[in-house]
């Protein structure tokens, strides 16, 4: 098994039950092929960089899982035929590919979230972060452009 991330953008006007159906379908594909889901994140509604199928906003999802190549191909096939999905991308990723490794990874992330800030972090955050202007020396001369300028024409004069 290998580790993959799939990021998908769905239409922004979908109701919550449609969003949940999309996620459940992907989870079923992964479970059917004996894959392991590390996490599924809903990133929410975001403005798109450019219009896709006359949509200016989209709902972003991240699926992080371990599985085989045919599983990814099946997920991509489902996204291609689903009109609710605007775009998607699949990325092969480094990381744990066993159930135990992924569980350890999830526990580590949760421990970091729950752990209160250390004394050193709070002390450094409390320090006054004043920005001082750079010192100027008095012997600096202003820079003069060396580009040649066209000669000025005098008004009222015509050349013959």
pLDDT, greater one: 50 or 148: 50
Could you give the angle at which helices 16-32 and 69-81 cross, rounded to 10 degrees?
A: 150
Could you give the CA distance from residue 67 to residue 4 in angstroms, rounded to a whole number?
7
Longest Cα–Cα distance of the chain, Å, equals: 92
Res. 121: pLDDT tops 80? no
Q: Where are the alpha helices (DSSP H) in 2-160?
A: 16-32, 69-81, 99-114, 119-126
Measured CA to CA in angstroms, residue 83 lies from 22, 78, 79, 156 at distances of 11, 10, 8, 71
The average confidence (pLDDT) of the chain is 81
First to last CA, the chain: 86
Q: What angle do CA 117, 110, 10 make, to 5 degrees?
A: 115
Rounded to 5 degrees, φ, ψ at 134 are -65, 145
pLDDT of 136 reads 52
pLDDT at 159 over 90: no
Q: Is the pLDDT of residue 119 over 50?
A: no
**What pLDDT does residue 112 have?**
82
68: tokens are 């085989």
Q: Flag whether pLDDT at 68 surpasses 70.
A: yes
Q: What is the 3-state secondary structure (H, E, C) of 53-90?
A: CCEEEEEEEEEEEEECHHHHHHHHHHHHHCCCEEEEEE
**pLDDT tens-digit series, residues 71-106:** 999 999 999 999 999 999 999 988 667 777 777 877
Does the pLDDT of residue 54 top 70, yes or no? yes
- The pLDDT score that the predictor gives to residue 118 is 54
Domains of the chain: 2-114 (3.30.70.60)
Whether pLDDT at 122 is above 90: no
pLDDT tens digits, one per residue of 7-40:
999 999 999 999 999 999 999 999 998 888 888 9
**What pLDDT does residue 92 have?**
92
Assess whether pLDDT exceeds 60 at residue 127.
no
């Amino acid at each position: 098994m290998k580790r993959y991330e799939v990021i998908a953008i769905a239409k922004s006007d979908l109701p919550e039950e449609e969003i949940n159906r999309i996620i459940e379908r992907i989870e079923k594909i992964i479970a059917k092929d004996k894959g392991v889901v590390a996490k599924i994140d809903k990133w929410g509604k975001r403005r798109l960089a450019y219009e896709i199928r006359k949509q200016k906003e989209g709902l972003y999802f991240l699926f992080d899982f371990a599985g085989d190549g045919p599983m990814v191909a099946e997920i991509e096939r489902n996204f291609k035929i689903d009109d609710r999905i605007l775009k998607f991308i699949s990325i092969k990723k480094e990381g744990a590919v066993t159930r135990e490794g992924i569980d350890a990874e999830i526990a580590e992330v949760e421990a970091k979230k729950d752990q209160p800030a250390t004394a050193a972090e709070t002390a450094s955050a409390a320090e006054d972060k004043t920005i001082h202007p750079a010192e100027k020396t008095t012997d600096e001369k202003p820079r003069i452009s060396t580009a040649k300028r066209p000669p000025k024409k005098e008004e009222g004069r015509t050349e013959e």
